[in-house]
């Protein structure tokens, strides 16, 4: 049925929205609903899973980086609202899985799909998949955890992930961050691989700003300027506001809708508000 093809992201967005609303409204009943969704969601994340691609062999099992990213996204918000060792453990689980399973410093890549034990599966198209936007989105969450925990090693690794993803994923011919590549530049399975999407650019702006704020490194500031220029010259709609979502590789628009089944209000306000807070409240404000 239709409901079976809906993605776990819907539940991720629902869980954090309920949690934030419970806090804003001071409503314990809503918090209970948020927790119920947390209980439903967490067991679905981190289990070996086949992907939605037409894979070879068709029933290969992968551990998905996307699951770690979902867990970190949800557990961070819940832990911010009501700190609890349980949420903190889910953050630790996410950090460990990303670093030990998916981040391959020798390849300069955070692999999107690996074997359940973290072994690369580079002989399969899914195993070669590099998703720069996902990698960078996880990286800034790792930076926030590193900042909270005072974990300098984690911070440095998160910066490395960000820079490796930009080095690999930036389109040197047309500008902008590629949506999906294979780590070895073999052909991807995704028809839309070469498009430029709004959300990886937004997530990258915040990752670079946070990384620069925490390290002061010039190379991060330079990347920020470059991504900023591409992003703000291509995505915002000067006439009606909001951002266009999907550009062809050459930067022309695939279409002009501000929302669809995937583009909702999740990424953009989140990262712009975080950027805004960062400009106003941290060491960056002094420079």
Residues near a copy of itself (CB under 8 A) are 2-6, 50, 52-55, 58-59, 125, 186-189, 191-195, 246, 248-250, 252, 254-257, 260-262
Nearer to a copy of itself, 78 or 198 (CB): 198
Nearer to a copy of itself, 42 or 195 (CB): 195
The CB-of-9 to a copy of itself minimum distance in angstroms stands at 11
d(CA 243, CA 170): 20
Nearer to a copy of itself, 189 or 270 (CB): 189
Half-sphere exposure of 255 (CA within 13 A, CB side): 5
The CB-of-245 to a copy of itself minimum distance in angstroms stands at 9
3-state class of 279 per DSSP? helix
Nearer to a copy of itself, 70 or 98 (CB): 70
User: DSSP class of residue 45?
Assistant: S
Nearer to a copy of itself, 81 or 170 (CB): 170
The CB-of-247 to a copy of itself minimum distance in angstroms stands at 10
Nearer to a copy of itself, 38 or 235 (CB): 235
Taking alpha carbons only, the member of 9, 188, 207 closest to residue 113 is 188
Alpha carbon separation from 2 to 14, 28, 180 (Å, rounded):
18, 32, 26
Return contacts of 10-18, CB within 8 angstroms, 24+ apart: 11/37, 11/40, 11/41, 11/44, 12/41, 12/70, 12/73, 12/74, 13/264, 13/266, 15/41, 15/74, 15/77, 15/78, 16/73, 16/74, 16/77, 16/78
The CB-of-182 to a copy of itself minimum distance in angstroms stands at 9
The CB-of-74 to a copy of itself minimum distance in angstroms stands at 21
User: What is the Cα Rg of the chain in Å?
Assistant: 18
The CB-of-59 to a copy of itself minimum distance in angstroms stands at 6
Which of left, alpha, beta for 189 (phi over 0: left; psi -120 to 50: alpha)? alpha
3-state class of 177 per DSSP? strand
Q: How far is CA 2 from the centre of its chain?
A: 26
CB neighbours (10 Å) of residue 258? Answer: 16
The CB-of-94 to a copy of itself minimum distance in angstroms stands at 26
The CB-of-186 to a copy of itself minimum distance in angstroms stands at 8
Nearer to a copy of itself, 24 or 257 (CB): 257
Nearer to a copy of itself, 230 or 244 (CB): 244
d(CA 14, CA 62): 25
CB neighbours (10 Å) of residue 189? Answer: 17
């Amino acid at each position: 049925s239709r409901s079976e093809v809906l993605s776990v992201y819907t539940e991720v967005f629902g869980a954090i929205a309920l949690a934030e609303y419970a806090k804003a409204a001071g409503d314990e009943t809503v918090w209970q609903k948020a927790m119920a969704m947390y209980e439903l969601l967490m067991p679905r994340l981190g289990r070996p899973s086949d992907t939605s691609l037409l894979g070879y062999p068709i029933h290969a099992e992968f551990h998905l980086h996307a699951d770690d990213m979902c867990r970190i996204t949800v557990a961070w918000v819940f832990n911010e609202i009501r700190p609890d060792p349980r949420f903190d453990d889910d953050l630790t689980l996410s950090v460990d899985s990303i670093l030990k399973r998916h981040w391959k410093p020798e390849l300069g890549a955070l692999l999107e799909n690996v074997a359940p034990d973290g072994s690369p599966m580079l002989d399969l198209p899914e195993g070669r998949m590099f998703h720069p936007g996902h990698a960078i989105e996880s990286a800034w969450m790792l930076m926030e955890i590193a900042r909270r925990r005072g974990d300098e090693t984690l911070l440095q690794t998160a910066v490395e992930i960000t820079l490796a993803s930009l080095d690999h994923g930036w389109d040197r011919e047309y500008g902008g961050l590629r949506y999906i590549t294979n780590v070895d530049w073999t052909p991807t399975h995704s028809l839309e691989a070469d498009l430029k999407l709004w959300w990886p650019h937004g997530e990258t702006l915040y990752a670079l700003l946070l990384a620069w704020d925490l390290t002061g490194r010039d190379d991060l500031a330079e990347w920020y300027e470059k991504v900023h220029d591409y992003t703000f010259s291509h995505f915002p709609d000067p006439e009606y506001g909001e951002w266009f979502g999907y550009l062809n590789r050459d930067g022309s628009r695939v279409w002009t809708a501000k929302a669809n089944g995937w583009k909702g209000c999740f990424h953009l306000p989140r990262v712009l508000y975080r950027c805004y807070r960062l400009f106003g409240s941290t060491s960056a404000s002094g420079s």
